[in-house]
């Protein structure tokens, strides 16, 4: 899982209502912004200044993920007023910028959605399209089978969920990555695979060398 860059809106922003979100759903959007440079960082900057009731939790492009609001706060993205879309879901916007790679952006969104499912115990059936809440043709690309179908997107999330640490291990897994104690093979961390004795030796050796351990000494 790539780093999630934090660009949390200031508490007094008009587009940060600060209402509790029970995190029962994940809502998927495509940004609809095809301009070159309309990537995740650009949307993060825009949300900081826009004076409208528009906001969401994450923007994902082919390279980066930005978070704009805490998961457990509501946002204005679903077009359903005070309905369950705005009030009970975590919103992910997938970038469609002309200078980006839609396939890679969508794959990143599937990984993020899986992680949020695991973290908040959200079922696959509760990953929904913006369309589900308001009838808008969004996520327009996924609804038009770009880069693949909605069903394929959900199957990617399901596959990623198989691979992810269980909820009880998630914090420890994040810590071990941050400490550089557990490293992936570039594609995967193989969380559900057994550890060989040589791998265990390397893990212990990295632990000995980790900042955490030396500080305690
Ligand atoms: Zn949308």
pLDDT in tens, 118-157: 999 999 999 999 999 999 999 999 999 999 999 999 999 9
The pLDDT tens digits of the residues spanning 70-127 come to: 999 999 999 999 999 999 999 999 999 999 999 999 999 999 999 999 999 999 999 9
Q: For residue 122, give the CATH number of its domain.
A: 3.40.80.10
DSSP 126: G
Write down which residue in 124, 145, 163 finishes a domain.
163
CB count within 10 Å of CB 72 equals 13
Say whether both 65 and 171 belong to one domain: no
Q: Would you say residue 179 has pLDDT above 90? A: no
Ligand 1 mean position, distance from CA 206 (Å) = 44
Ligand 1 mean position, distance from CA 174 (Å) = 30
Total number of domains in the chain: 2
Say whether both 126 and 34 belong to one domain: yes
Ligand 1 mean position, distance from CA 130 (Å) = 5
Say whether both 65 and 92 belong to one domain: yes
pTM of the model: 0.89
Ligand 1 mean position, distance from CA 197 (Å) = 48
pLDDT at residue 217, as a whole number? 47
Ligand 1 mean position, distance from CA 137 (Å) = 8
Ramachandran sector of residue 55 (left: φ over 0; alpha: ψ -120 to 50; beta: rest)? beta
pLDDT at residue 45, as a whole number? 98
pLDDT interval class at 215 (50, 70, 90): low
Write down which residue in 139, 163, 187 finishes a domain.
163
Say whether both 36 and 115 belong to one domain: yes
Say whether both 190 and 147 belong to one domain: no
Say whether both 92 and 48 belong to one domain: yes
- Mean pLDDT value across residues 2-12: 93
Ligand 1 mean position, distance from CA 87 (Å) = 15
Say whether both 181 and 147 belong to one domain: no
Ligand 1 mean position, distance from CA 30 (Å) = 6
Say whether both 45 and 90 belong to one domain: yes
pLDDT at residue 213, as a whole number? 58
Q: Which domain holds residue 203?
A: 167-216
Say whether both 158 and 95 belong to one domain: yes
Cα–Cα distance for residue pair 173/175, rounded to 1 Å? 5
Write down which residue in 125, 141, 163 finishes a domain.
163
Say whether both 94 and 182 belong to one domain: no
Sign (positive/negative) of CA torsion 29, 30, 32, 38? Answer: positive
Say whether both 196 and 159 belong to one domain: no
pLDDT at residue 5, as a whole number? 97
């Amino acid at each position: 899982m790539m780093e999630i860059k934090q660009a949390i809106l200031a508490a007094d922003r008009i587009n940060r209502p600060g209402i509790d979100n029970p995190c029962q759903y994940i809502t998927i959007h495509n940004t609809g912004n095809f301009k070159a440079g309309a990537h995740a960082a650009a949307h993060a900057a825009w949300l900081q200044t826009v004076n409208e009731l528009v906001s969401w939790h994450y923007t994902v492009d082919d390279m980066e993920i930005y978070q704009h609001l805490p998961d457990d706060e509501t946002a204005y993205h679903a077009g359903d007023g005070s309905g369950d879309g705005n009030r009970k879901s975590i919103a992910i916007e997938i970038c469609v910028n002309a200078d980006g790679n839609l396939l890679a952006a969508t794959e990143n969104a599937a990984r993020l959605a899986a992680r949020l499912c695991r973290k908040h115990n959200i079922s696959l059936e509760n990953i929904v399209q913006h369309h589900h809440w308001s009838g808008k043709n969004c996520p327009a690309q996924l609804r038009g089978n770009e880069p693949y179908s909605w069903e394929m997107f959900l199957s990617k999330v399901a596959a990623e969920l198989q691979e992810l640490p269980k909820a009880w291990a998630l914090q420890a897994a994040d810590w071990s990555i941050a400490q550089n104690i557990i490293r992936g093979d570039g594609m995967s961390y193989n969380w559900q695979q057994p550890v060989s004795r040589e791998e265990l030796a390397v893990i212990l050796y990295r632990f000995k060398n980790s900042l955490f351990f030396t500080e305690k000494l």
